[in-house]
Amino acid sequence: MATVKPFKAIRPTKDKAFYVASRSYEEYSKDELQAVLKYNPFSFLHIINPGFKFEKHITGQERFHLVRNRYLEFLEENIFQKDDAPSFYLYQIVKEDFKSLGFFCACSVEDYRNDVIKKHEDTLQEREELFADYLDTVGFNAEPVLMTYADNDEVNAIFQRKIKRVPEYDFTTVDRVNHKLWKISYPEGIEKLEKAFAQMDALYIADGHHRSASSDLLAKHLEKENSSHNGQEPYNYFMAYLIPESQMRIYEFNRMVKDLNGFSKKEFLIQLDEYFMIEKETSGLCRPTKKHEFCMYLKDEFYKLHLRKTNYQFTDALSELDTQILFKTILEPILGIKDLRNDKRISYGYGKHNLIKMKEDVDKGKFEVGFSLVPTTVEEIKAIADAGLVMPPKSTYIEPKLRSGLAIYEL
């Protein structure tokens, strides 16, 4: 039984939504970030980069307090408004080759604790505590956790009726992505959505494991401090964006390694022969076409690696995952990479053009070898989450990527 709850969003006024909405901070180059901050006073980036106002790089608690101040300024200057009634917020993203239609809602930390909200990645305690402290100080949640659910006809019918109406927002950003947002605030629609999700056994985190873990940690802290805690306080929920499985797109992360751990090219290929049938690819760029098949670029040549299933044992859902197979057969035993998060010898790349970049980087000598994989599937994510297992880092790059600042949840 999954809980979804409407909330009174803080969001930009209709005339400023285009200017407020921003991509994730990490997606901006240094020059692009400075240009947006200099020429767009309404960008949400001003809130999360409060040091720009003072021409100073600010970190820690000082930054957290200034983020809070910039947020309050946006409210005082009527860049942001608070809705009068609790609502769900239907948000559609359309670009050239992809469309998603999901909704912002509040999800329960209790569901997270009880494994109704299922995860497939480990989190780092230090990052959990840092973000929990951030949320406690700034008092709002602007980065929703991306979650997915099994396609549901009743939910889809509600959405399809709603998108026939005039949206609250309708704008296209400079990257040619169209954004539309509708409010679902009428009691019948809210009740139908709540009941539909109450009949679902689980929701699955696609992106935002640290954000959900931090919200849970903050809720535990605030509960201890609140002698009149009743379970309905805003801190018992966190903002999420929910989309059906069919509208989530998953890309692969390729792996690039800086050296062969002391092996020559011939010695390395001999080591690979233990677990793989090796086929030299002569037709140009090599892309894997199925599970348990890998493409490797090594010193000017592409190879296809076909897993020898007689030598590798499948024991659970994790052992069947290609990123885990690559780790257990090559990266760890041959190349000596044991810590996929922190080892500086390995890098990751994603996107439909990354195979070309991977080849170029190996040719330039930045890396000795690169591996290309097929994307992880939704079914694999769910199987691993259902089994309580954890994927290797950088197993998935998931879309949609949401704009920040369109809906904010106050704690």
CATH of residue 374's domain is: 3.30.1760.10
Same domain, 278 and 147: no
The pLDDT > 90 percentage for the chain reads 85
Quick one: DSSP state of residue 115? T
- The arithmetic mean of pLDDT across residues 123-144, rounded, is 94
pLDDT-derived band at 283 (thresholds 50, 70, 90) equals confident
pLDDT-derived band at 351 (thresholds 50, 70, 90) equals low
Q: According to the model, what pLDDT value does residue 56 have?
A: 84
Q: Hey, what amino acid is at 159?
A: F
Looking at the structure of the chain, the number of domains it has is: 2
Which run of H or of E encompasses 46?
helix 45-48
Beta bridge partners of 180: 92, 170
Q: According to the model, what pLDDT value does residue 25 have?
A: 81
Residue ranges of E strands in 49-177: 80-82, 88-95, 98-108, 117-118, 140-141, 145-149, 169-172
Name the pTM for this structure. 0.92
Same domain, 30 and 176: yes
pLDDT-derived band at 276 (thresholds 50, 70, 90) equals very high
Q: Cα–Cα distances in Å, from 398 out to 111, 203, 237?
A: 23, 16, 23
Same domain, 211 and 264: no
Same domain, 235 and 281: no
Domain assignment of residue 282, given as a range:
253-395
Same domain, 272 and 310: yes
- Poorest-confidence range of 16-25, 279-288, 293-302, 380-389? 279-288
**Residue keyed to tokens 């591996």:** 371
Same domain, 241 and 260: no
Same domain, 226 and 275: no
Closest CA to 179 of 410, 14, 7: 14
Quick one: DSSP state of residue 240? E
Q: According to the model, what pLDDT value does residue 43 have?
A: 96
Same domain, 175 and 299: no
Same domain, 44 and 67: yes
pLDDT-derived band at 24 (thresholds 50, 70, 90) equals confident
Helix (H, G, I), strand (E, B) or coil at 191: helix
The pLDDT > 70 percentage for the chain reads 99
Q: According to the model, what pLDDT value does residue 352 have?
A: 64
Closest CA to 368 of 294, 270, 263: 263
pLDDT-derived band at 28 (thresholds 50, 70, 90) equals confident
Q: What is the mean pLDDT of the chain?
A: 94
Q: According to the model, what pLDDT value does residue 53 have?
A: 86
pLDDT-derived band at 337 (thresholds 50, 70, 90) equals very high
pLDDT tens digit sequence for 214-238: 999 999 999 999 999 998 999 999 9
pLDDT-derived band at 122 (thresholds 50, 70, 90) equals confident
Q: Decide if 163 contacts 90 (C-beta within 8 A).
A: yes
Closest CA to 137 of 81, 59, 77: 59
pLDDT at 1 over 80: yes
Closest CA to 246 of 67, 400, 109, 385: 400
Q: According to the model, what pLDDT value does residue 282 have?
A: 84
pLDDT tens digit sequence for 37-77: 999 999 999 999 998 888 888 889 999 999 999 999 999 99
Same domain, 36 and 75: yes
- Poorest-confidence range of 152-166, 233-247, 273-287? 273-287
Same domain, 268 and 377: yes
Same domain, 262 and 232: no
23 vs 34: CA distance, rounded Å: 14
Q: According to the model, what pLDDT value does residue 350 have?
A: 82
- The arithmetic mean of pLDDT across residues 188-212, rounded, is 95
- Helices 187-198 & 153-162, crossing angle to 10 degrees? 160
167 vs 179: CA distance, rounded Å: 10
Q: According to the model, what pLDDT value does residue 14 have?
A: 96
**Residue keyed to tokens 């992880």:** 376
